[in-house]
Structures are given as structure tokens and as C-alpha cells.
Chain A
Amino acid sequence: MNNLSTRTCLAAVVLLAATPLAHAGGFSIYEAGAKATGMACAVTASIDDGSAMFYNIAGIGFMPGTVADINVMPVQPHSKYLQATPPTPGATGETAKPTFLVPGVGVTHRTSGRWGFGVGVSAPFGLGVEWEDPTNWTGRFTSYDVLLETIYVTPAVSFQVIPELSLAVGADIAHQTLELHRFSPQQFGGNNDLVNVINADLEGTAEWNVTPCFGAMYKPSAKWSFGVMYHPKKTMKYTDGTGTLTNVAPDALSGAVDAAITQLGGNNYKLTTELGLPHMLSLGVAYRFTPRFLVEFNAVNFGWSNFESLELTFDPDPTGSLSSTILERYEDRWQYRIGFDFDATEKLKLLAGYARDETPQPVESMSPLLPDATRNDFSIGAQYATGKWRFTLAWMAVLNEARSNVVDGAPAMFPEEQSNPDDVQIKTLEAGAYETVANVFAFGVGYHF
């Protein structure tokens, strides 16, 4: 076995590189505080706790004294998959149900004058999709486990231009890590199935990235409030990632796969890439219908077009078959959010909200890595205040609309992929429908010094 299987394994590893690494479109996590979560994150014009460090840093200017909030948002995503027929019956898949803890911390201080300061920690982008039964999962050649974590540390300063208007500027200092695990296939055996021959573990930590961020909040009356939030786009650079290829082939192929790995450059690689993050622009308006009841509406624009493609460079790559460019072609999208804040009693606040979040992910790049879909988010929550303390509890149900990457009876593919037989084979294999739901819980504790 040699030249033949080496050749086919080579093709398989090329395929490994040719499918998306971070195929995650809507990998935004817009939940940075418990109260905000309870209001479907429609808080740009009215935020009044430490999560202002993410939702609108100009909010610092309207919070007297020192405020500290610690929030944790356990997120439980759950996806199901049904392969398109043929084959009949289609294979099924289901993600594991881990809980990801999303932090949201903010401390603000407004001086007796016009200035305010603050620092916050949030995690506005992330992804965790781990499929059960990874060695048999249909989509394992694209991903059986992916984990993307992004942390923003945001220091900011605000200035009260006039009593009704606060402007703020800050810096988003971003840190990001990425893990992707997938198998590389080879057609083999009496059923001519795709079997796992190489396990690929790709990991990396991006360089720190700093961009400015801006906020404005205007409260012309006791009833009206307006807000603008802007976090610019980023490009996270991975210059020292690692790629590890491990031979997991059946015994009959093991020798050939070893030879193929050697020919490719060995088991270990340095991996470099860049991952584009979108800008976030939120325009908010809040209206207090009564002293106890506030409604806020936000339109949030995500500049997902910054996630156009992903260039992966492996080193070494003597055959040139590992490095590649992956097309993503995400599209800018507006989200619409509405939140309700009702003071049931002097101490108890009830929260609710709804968000419509249209997916930025073109159907062509929908995959097991992230089967994104347009979302409808429903949230409720409550906040209890006693003395200087605030305790907040909220829950958001993120309901993805059912989505399939089968379009007009064919697996959706970019034109460039249609001319690549390996892409066609994998896309056809993985074509199918997904249902996804995520539960976002939120717990917050705040203290007003």
C-alpha cells in the first residue's frame, strides 16, 4: 500500500485543512450581565450597573459613586442533527450538554465632578460545540469538538458634557483562545465508508488585541433615554498556534497514514491564522411609561462581514497541501431587542425581553462547527435590592429556527467548493437539518459603595 494510500491520505489531510476552522458565524455572546439578560440585553439607553462596561460605557456617567457588579451566565447550548437522505435512514447527531460559564464583571466610579471611570470584563464572543459519539458522528470530518473563548477587558472613562449627556471612550483589550478537534477521513473497507485515519488537534492563543470603544447616553427627561454603544471590529492574530496530527487509522491503513503524515511534515505544526470579529453598534431608546415601568428598544448592528475568510498557514508544509484559505462570507446583520423593567415593589424588579437575531451565517458555511440559525430570544428575570446590595436572577431561552443546509435538494456550497470533489463529498455527507436551543441563566450580585 503505498503510493495509492499515501495519495488518498494526502488528499484527506488536505481536506482536513480545507474545511473551516472557525466556521462560527453567530458566535456572539451578547449576555454580559444578569439584569441585561433578563431584558434580552436591550439596555444600551438605560444600563445602570457594572455591565455598562460592555453595553454602554457612557452609562458610567449616570451612576453616582462606585458600583461593582459580578455576574456569571451559565450557558447550555444543545443541538440536534438529522442527516439529509439518502442515505435512508439519515444519521442523527446530538451535542453534549456542557455548561459554559460566561463572566460579566464591572466596576465603575463617578467622581463628584463630570468624570467617571470603570473597568469591565466580558466575553462577547465564544463557541462550544461538542458532538456526542465523536468517532462516529457524521460531521466529525469538519468538527467533533470546538471551543472558542474571547475575553474583553474594557477600561473606560466618561465625561458628563452636560447633566443630560454622557460621552465615554474606552479600550477593548481582547484575549482569545481556540481549540478544534476533527478527524480526517479515508474511504476504506467493504462498505467503502469514510473511516477516521488522522485525528487533528488544533489549538492556539491569539495575540492581545486593543481597539477603542465608544459610548454615549443622553437623558433629556425623566422619561426618555437614548444610548449609543460601539465596539469596533477586531482581527485576532494567531501566530503561535499548534496543530497535532495523530494516526488513528485502522491497522490496515496505519503504515500508509504514518507515511502520509511524514510526507506532510510530521505530527506537529506551528499554525498561524487570523480570525475577524465584527463591530458591535447598538442604538437604544428607553421610555419610562410610569415611574415604575421602563421599556427599552435596541437595534444592534454586527459587522459580521469582517469574518470573510480564514487563512490557515501550517509550518512546516513542504507539500503545500495543508495551508489553505477558507471562505466564510458572513454578512452584516441587525438584531432587534426589546426589554421591560418593572418595579413590582420597592425592592423587587421584574424583567422581561425579546430579541430577534437574524443569522449572519450564509447557508453555504453552515456546518457541524456551528449550525447557526436565526434566533428568537425570550427572557425573564428578577432583581432584589436590599440596602446597598442587588441580587439578580434571569433566564433566557435562545430558540434557533430550524435550519438545513440543503437548498433545492442539494448541499449548499460556495462556487469554489463545487469544483472540489473532496468538498463536495464532505458537504454532501454532512448535509442535513439542525435544531438548536440554548438556555442562558444569569446570576448577578451588585454593590453600590
Chain B
Amino acid sequence: MKTIKWILTGAVLLTIFAMGCTPGDPEQTALTITQPEGSDALQRYVAMGNSLTAGYMDSGLIMNGQMSSYPFQIAMQLGYSFDSSTDDWFAQPLLAWPGVGTTSLSDEDYAAGMLHFNGAGVSVVDSTLLTQVPALALASAYLSPYNNLGVPGATTLDVTEALDSSTSQSPGNSYFDLILRNPTFGNVNMLNQGISRAPTLVSLWIGNNDVLGGATGGDPVIGENVTPPAAFAAMFEGIVAGLLDGVQARFGYTPHIVAGNIPSITSIPFFIPKAMFDGIVGGAYPTVEVDVAYVVFPALGAVQGGFTDPLPTNWTLTTAEVAAVEGAVDGYNSAIDALATEYSFTVADMHTELGSIAPPENTHFLFLLQSMTPAEAAATTLFSLDGVHPNNRGYTRAANVFIGAINTELGLTGADAVPEAADDETWDPTYPSPMPPPGLAALTR
């Protein structure tokens, strides 16, 4: 009996021992990840930004603009493929004819396509029933985030906050739906979609819409429709830090960043100097505001179309308004410069580049028609019909500024340097229908 008690006691003790015999927590191991430097950093390129990054032109997004976007032109110089059937395709959210534009139509069930030159003036080339717009997205089946994540209309805030058209800073921006593809893609913002591609090189050009929205509306007010520089600086830093930290945490290295700064609004033909405006319309045209410095481009069409009232405040920028906007732009660029120093990235000086573009290259196509044929005008100006965005040739200029910055960032010189894109892009503002769809065969999957 005594022996049995001992056995039972032993059994209980054994059970207790066994219960306590569990594995410890494994020690952390680490993979050795090489920080990409020099040419090695050209392996995986991602672009983030707004319409200028997306390849938007002629008031819309369409494949022929996207296939000339500055990120695409950079990617071609880096050796990416334009063929979507290949593994090294530079993925973009390509849109088919007639594109998706932002021109308002009288029939709200339709989305405007691109603007085009119809031989006499500018009009919408075609339109698409809203329900059919998703069918224009040729690469919607691409299973990963695009390499080019530029979203027309995106603000600095949108990079981290917008998930779709319902959450964009500018309400109802359906480009977010087409490009970020949420909620199907798991409600992931532009920044994190970019991080997920394990980029070794990122171009970031954001902030233009933080001033343009107010400026193109003619009534810019800092803090209301123009982002204050301090707020911009904080958001931009959040993006840069988030990008570096995000890639570091997920992939174990930090990407190289080249960031475009913000051009002056006076660099683009959308804003017509008042004196030029008066010259075109044949005299000093009255305005509601005094000390008007610039008139927005749509006002010209209106006046030439028979509008006779004094130009309303939303069509003009006063000297003070211009100064306020330019002050904001300067503030943004100072912030970008400071952050470039702090976070060791390189600035692509788009401010200087666009400021250096002189007439006739920065003259609107329609103005050039006064002295040129349409073909000559198209081959001369660097801007598209909307007066804000570059045309195909203009995007080559932008690409080459970024390429210069990339070479600086990565210390690439001589034979190692990324070569500049050739100035052989063409722009056809007539948009002949059907437009030549480069690479379409590879995209119709």
C-alpha cells in the first residue's frame, strides 16, 4: 500500500513536471540585407505623386500620356519593359480611349474623356458612361500595386490619408478608385502601396495641388484652400519618414528618394499675365478685383466666346494673391530642402526647371496657333491643352530633371549614370480616333 502511494505521488509529480516543460521563445534571427547603393539601387523603382506623376495631360488621363509620364520615361532608361506581359513591366494604371478627364459635362451620367484640338478650338474628344469607366482600366487585373502610383488631384495629405474617392481631400476624386483599387486592395494608401513594392528607388513629387487648387480657383487663401507651409512640411516629413521606416521595417533597407520640389504657378500657361490677356482680347479688359496680375486660362475662352462682364474674382489673381501663393510655394520648397538634408535625399529642382522654360515653349498651344500651324505649335510648346500639365515632350524634360537627381542621389557618373531620355516624344493634340495604342496588344488580357 505504501508503495502504491509512492507511485501515485510520483505520477502526480511527473505530470507537474511535464506541464511545465514547454518550449521557450525562439531567439530572434536576422537576414543580412544589403543596403542598395549605386546602380544596385536602380532595381526597383516606384513613383508617387499626383497628376504630374500619373502622366495626366489635356485635362485627363489616357494611355498615350501615361506612356510618356516622367516615371515611365525614367523606367525605360532604367531598363524596365513597356510590355505588360513581362515580369519587368513598369506597371501603370493605363486607361483606354477616350481616357478619363476632369471636364464637366452637362450629362452627369457620363465622364468626359480627354480635351483635344478639333481644328477650331478645344473640346472633349469623347465621353464614357460612368458605369463603363472601370472597363477603361486596362491594367486593373494587375495583382500588385502599380509602380506608378501618381493619382491626379492628390494632395500631400492624400498620400497617407486617401484610400478612395470617398476619402480623398478633394471629394469624389475617382482616380483614387482606379489607381489604388480599394477596397479590393485592402484599403491601403498610396504610401503603403509604394512601400509594398520593396522599392530601392522612389520618386516623390507631391504638393503641387496644395497650392493649385486655390490658385486655379482664383481665390487662394492660405489655410483654407492652400496648405500652410508648416502643415505641408509636417506632412511631407511624414511621407519621407514613413517611406524610409516602412521599407526598412518590411525589407531591411532604406530606399533612395528623389523628391521634386514645387514649381511657381507663374511657370504654367494656365495663368496668363494680365497684360498678355489684354493684348489677346484687344484691350484692357475690366476685372472685379483691382491690381490683377494673372487671368486664368478658361477666362480667355469665355471672353473670346462672347463673355462681356468684368472678369469675376475666381478668374483673376491679384498681385497680393500671387505673392501669397508664391510664398507658400517657397515655404514648401524650403521645407523640402531642409528635409532633404535631414533625411539625406536629393531634390529634383522642378521649380528651377519650369522657371527656366521660356516662350514659346511655355506658351499655350492655342496662342501659338496665331503664328504657327497646329503641327508646328504641337512640336513647340511643352504644355498640354489644359495649360497646367506638360505634354509628352514636357514630361521628357521632367524625366531628365529627375534622372539628373537620381544620378546625384546614387553617385552615378560617366558610363554608370542613368542616361537622359531622348527628346523624341511627340504630342498630337488632335487625338485622332482611334488613337494609336502603344503596347495595347500586351495589355488586352
Contact = CB atoms under 8 A, between A and B. Distances in A.
Contacts of A393: 7, 10-11, 14
A441 B18 contact: yes
Nearest to A431: B31
State the main secondary structure of chain A at its contact with B: strand
A4 B445 contact: yes
A189 B185 contact: yes
Contacts of A191: 186, 188, 192-193, 196
B187 interface: yes
A253 interface: yes
A3 B445 contact: yes
Interface string A363-405: 0000000000000000010101000000101010101101010
Interface in B168-185: 180-182, 184-185
Interface residue SS majority, chain B: loop
Interface stretch (B47-55, B140-148, B354-362, B383-391): B140-148
B92 to A, nearest CB: 14
B25 A82 contact: yes
B163 to A, nearest CB: 9
Interface stretch (A84-92, A103-111, A238-246, A283-291): A84-92
B351 interface: no
Contacts of B186: 189-191
> Taking each of A189, A397, A428, which has the highest tally of chain B beta carbons within 10 Å of its own beta carbon?
A189
A304 interface: no
A268 interface: no
A162 interface: no
B144 to A, nearest CB: 5
A331 to B, nearest CB: 23
B419 to A, nearest CB: 29
Interface string B34-51: 000000000000000000
B276 to A, nearest CB: 45
B268 to A, nearest CB: 32
B24 interface: yes
Interface in B122-146: 141-145
A348 interface: yes
Interface in B6-29: 6-7, 10-11, 14, 17-18, 21-29
A190 B193 CA distance: 5
B308 interface: no
Contacts of B445: 1-4
B25 A186 contact: no
A187 B29 contact: no
A448 interface: no
Contact of A434 (B4, B26, B249): B26
A410 B6 CA distance: 53
A345 B28 contact: no
A431 B31 CA distance: 8
A256 B27 CA distance: 40
B26 A190 contact: no
Contact of B249 (A86, A187, A402, A441): A86
A80 interface: yes
Given A78-B23, A345-B3, A433 B184 contact: no
A188 interface: yes
B185 A190 contact: yes
Contact of A437 (B6, B23, B27, B251): B23
A86 B141 contact: no
B373 interface: no
A432 interface: yes
B33 interface: yes
Contact of A433 (B21, B26, B141, B198): B26
B23 A79 contact: yes
A264 interface: no
A388 B9 CA distance: 23
Contacts of A76: 18
A435 interface: yes
A234 B31 CA distance: 38
A369 B6 CA distance: 41
A86 B251 contact: yes
B31 A428 contact: yes
B30 interface: yes
A46 interface: no
A81 interface: yes
B143 A4 contact: yes
B304 interface: no
Contacts of B196: 190-193
Interface in B185-212: 185-189, 192-193, 196-198
Contact of A384 (B3, B23, B29, B252): B3
A85 B30 CA distance: 5
A143 interface: no
Q: Which of B21, B198, B250 has the most CB of A within 10 A?
A: B21
Nearest to A403: B26
B352 to A, nearest CB: 35
A123 to B, nearest CB: 20
Nearest to A428: B31
A113 interface: no
Contact of B182 (A81, A85, A190): A190
Contacts of B188: 189-191
B32 interface: yes
Contacts of B189: 190
Nearest to A345: B3
Given A82-B25, A82-B26, A435-B23, A8 B18 contact: no
A124 interface: no
A222 interface: no
A272 interface: no
A404 B145 CA distance: 32
Interface in B245-259: 248-252
A433 B27 CA distance: 7
B181 A192 contact: no
Interface in A164-220: 186-193
Contacts of B28: 82, 84-85, 90, 433
Contacts of B11: 393
Contact of B26 (A80, A193, A380, A410): A80
Given A397-B18, A435-B24, A190 B187 contact: yes
A380 B29 contact: no
A345 B4 CA distance: 12
A190 B181 CA distance: 8
B18 A395 contact: yes
A411 interface: yes
B3 A190 contact: no
Interface string A61-75: 000000000000000
B180 A431 contact: no
B31 A384 contact: no
B44 to A, nearest CB: 11
Contacts of B25: 80, 82, 435
A188 B193 CA distance: 11
B18 A439 contact: yes
A86 B143 contact: no
Given A4-B142, A188-B144, A348 B3 contact: yes
A416 interface: no
Contacts of B144: 187-188, 192
B406 to A, nearest CB: 23
Nearest to A347: B3
6 contacts: A3-B85, A78-B23, A189-B185, A395-B14, A410-B31, A439-B18
Given A191-B186, A192-B196, A437-B22, 10 more contacts: A84-B28, A86-B31, A86-B252, A187-B143, A188-B144, A190-B192, A397-B18, A402-B24, A402-B26, A409-B32
Interface of A: 1-5, 8, 76, 78-82, 84-88, 90, 186-193, 252-253, 256, 345, 347-348, 380, 382, 384, 391, 393, 395, 397, 399-400, 402, 404, 406, 408-411, 428, 431-437, 439, 441
Which 3 interchain pairs have the tightest Cβ spacing? A409-B32, A190-B188, A1-B141
